[in-house]
């Protein structure tokens, strides 16, 4: 929050805060100081993500968004991550995939049903169902300290998209068994995926142009989803 004392535009590494209360405090500080601050949620800038978002505009109706998460906080701690970060790993790292609910599900989040709740003393499987006012459904499936992919699927009645790995997008149409792939934008192969497009968006902010950077409010929305899934 020290940076908000200066007339800077801030691009903050995600998440903005160890937990929801700290994220709320950072957002409040930015507002009090009237500062522009954004989050480096670079997976929002993947060409795969943009391909799915763009295509979904022509596929109406209910969506089923399935997010697969896998976390190794023990490995993170052994590699030097601070204990406070590891204790809030569902914010520090799971935000990367939980944020896809904020991107792909429409409307207000009405409820989160914890089908297999988080057990901090015995981390294993976490499973939750998310229901939105639009009729969209979300399913969150996480494996802690075990094998599993990071992946996202978005299913409509006419087309199903899959991001696995997240940098690549394939789709399958209704009545077809064929998976069609979408070419990855050169920016996502020449640079770390999402960062070149994110830099372009940051330049638009500096130029006073319309942009698609994630705001602190966007980040807090995703952290609140994580908090409801994990009972934090």
pLDDT for position 27: 97
pLDDT for position 90: 96
Sign of the alpha-carbon dihedral angle for 175, 157, 140, 47: positive
User: What is the average pLDDT score of the chain?
Assistant: 96
The CATH code for residues 2-186+197-230 is: 3.30.360.10
pLDDT tens for 56-105 read 999 989 999 999 999 999 999 999 999 999 999 999 999 999 999 999 99
Q: Is the per-residue pLDDT at 1 higher than 90?
A: no
pTM as predicted: 0.96
Residue pair 4/29 in contact by the 8 Å Cβ criterion: yes
Q: Which residues lie across from 173 on neighbouring strands?
A: 159
Residue pair 170/180 in contact by the 8 Å Cβ criterion: yes
Residue pair 232/98 in contact by the 8 Å Cβ criterion: no
- Residues with Cβ within 8 Å of 171's Cβ and at least 6 positions away in sequence, in order, are 55, 159, 160, 161, 162, 179, 180, 182
pLDDT for position 74: 92
The residue-averaged pLDDT of 7-30 equals 95
Share of the chain above pLDDT 70, in %: 100
Rounded CA separation 73/88 (Å): 9
């Amino acid at each position: 929050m020290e940076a908000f004392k200066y007339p800077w535009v801030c691009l903050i590494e995600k998440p903005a805060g160890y937990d929801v209360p700290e994220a709320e405090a950072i957002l409040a500080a930015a507002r009090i100081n009237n500062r522009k601050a954004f989050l480096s949620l670079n997976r929002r800038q993947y060409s795969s993500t943009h391909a799915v978002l763009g295509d979904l505009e022509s596929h109406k109706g209910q969506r089923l968004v399935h997010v697969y998460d896998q976390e190794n906080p023990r490995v993170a701690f052994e590699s030097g991550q601070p204990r406070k970060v590891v204790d809030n790993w569902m914010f520090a790292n799971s935000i990367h995939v939980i944020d896809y609910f904020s991107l792909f599900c429409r409307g207000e989040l009405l409820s989160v049903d914890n089908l297999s709740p988080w057990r901090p003393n015995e981390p294993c499987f976490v499973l939750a169902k998310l229901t939105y006012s639009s009729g969209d459904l979300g399913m969150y499936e996480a494996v802690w300290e075990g094998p599993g992919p990071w992946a996202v699927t978005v299913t409509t009645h006419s087309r199903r998209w899959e991001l696995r790995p997240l940098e690549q997008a394939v789709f399958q149409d209704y009545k077809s068994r064929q998976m069609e792939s979408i070419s990855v934008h050169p920016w996502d192969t020449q640079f770390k995926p999402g960062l070149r497009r994110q830099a372009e968006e940051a330049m638009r902010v500096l130029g006073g142009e319309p942009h698609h950077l994630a705001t602190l409010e966007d980040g807090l929305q995703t952290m609140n989803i994580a908090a409801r899934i994990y009972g934090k």
